[in-house]
C-alpha cells in the first residue's frame, strides 16, 4: 500500500538562541506535544505564503522576511509529511494563543529537553541547527518515526546554496 503524502511547511522563528514553538492543547490528538509553527499547503498557495499564514494563525506573529532552508521528510508507518522549511529572525506583534495551541519563545536547549517534542524540533540540535541558520547551506533531512513519535532513523545532508 502506498503511503499518503501531505505537503506542508514549518517556519523557524529564531532569535538569540530562542525559538518560537507551539504546544498543542487538550483535545488535539497531539495534546502536550511541542512543535514548530506551520501547516498544510492549501490549493493554489505557495509554500512561503503558507508559512506566513500559519505562523500568524498559530502564534499571532507577523513575519515576512522568510528564507527557504530546505526540505524535511518525516515518514510514519502509514503516512509521510513532506515539509518545506523556512527560517526568519524578524517578527511583528506579540505571541497569542490559538484554538489548538499555545505559543512561546523558548530557549532552544530547554525545548530539546521537553518530554514531548515532534521530529521538526530535532533539527534544532546543535549539529542540525548549524545547517539551518548558516546562509551557505540548505538542509535535506529524512526522518522515520513510529506512531509514538520515537525517531527510528535519520538521514541528513547540507546542500550548498548556489
pLDDT at 139: 87
Positive or negative torsion for Cα 23, 26, 27, 32: positive
CA distance to 34, 64, 66, 80, 141, per residue, from 101 (Å)? 9, 22, 22, 23, 26
Q: Minimal CA–CA distance to 88: which of 62, 59, 123?
A: 62
Grid coordinates belonging to 88: 526568519
Q: Are strands 67-75 and 79-88 parallel, antiparallel or unpaired?
A: antiparallel
Number of domains the chain is built from? 1
Q: Are strands 18-24 and 67-75 parallel, antiparallel or unpaired?
A: unpaired
129 contacts 121 by C-beta, under 8 angstroms: no
Neighbours of 10 (CB within 10 A): 25
pLDDT of residue 48: 95
| CATH code at position 101 | 3.90.79.10
Pairwise CA distance, residues 21 & 59, whole Å:
9
Q: Which domain holds residue 140?
A: 4-160
pTM for this entry: 0.91
Q: What is the pLDDT of residue 78?
A: 93
User: pLDDT under 50 in the chain at which residues?
Assistant: none
- How buried is 118 (Cβ within 10 angstroms: 0-12 exposed, 13-18 middle, 19+ buried)? buried
Residue 150: its pLDDT value, please?
86
Quote the pLDDT of residue 105: 96
Residue 119 and residue 150: Cα distance in Å, rounded? 8
pLDDT in tens, 32-44: 999 999 999 999 9
pLDDT for 1 equals 66
Instruction: State residue 122's pLDDT score.
Output: 78
Question: Which residue is associated with the grid cell 534544532?
Answer: 124
Amino acid at each position: 500500500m502506498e503511503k499518503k503524502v501531505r505537503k506542508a511547511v514549518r517556519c523557524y522563528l529564531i532569535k538569540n538562541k530562542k525559538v518560537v514553538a507551539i504546544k498543542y492543547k487538550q483535545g488535539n490528538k497531539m495534546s502536550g506535544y511541542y512543535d514548530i509553527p506551520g501547516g498544510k499547503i492549501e490549493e493554489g498557495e505557495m509554500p512561503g505564503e503558507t508559512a506566513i499564514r500559519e505562523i500568524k494563525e498559530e502564534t499571532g506573529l507577523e513575519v515576512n522576511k522568510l528564507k527557504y532552508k530546505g526540505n524535511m521528510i518525516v515518514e510514519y508507518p502509514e503516512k509521510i509529511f513532506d515539509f518545506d522549511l523556512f527560517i526568519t529572525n524578524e517578527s511583528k506583534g506579540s505571541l497569542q494563543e490559538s484554538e489548538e495551541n499555545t505559543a512561546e519563545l523558548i530557549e532552544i536547549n530547554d525545548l530539546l529537553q521537553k518530554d514531548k517534542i515532534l521530529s521538526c524540533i530535532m533539527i534544532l540540535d546543535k549539529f542540525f541547527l548549524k545547517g539551518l541558520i548558516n546562509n551557505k547551506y540548505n538542509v535535506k533531512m529524512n526522518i522515520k518515526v513510529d506512531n509514538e513519535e520515537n525517531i527510528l532513523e535519520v538521514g541528513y545532508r547540507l546542500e550548498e546554496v548556489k
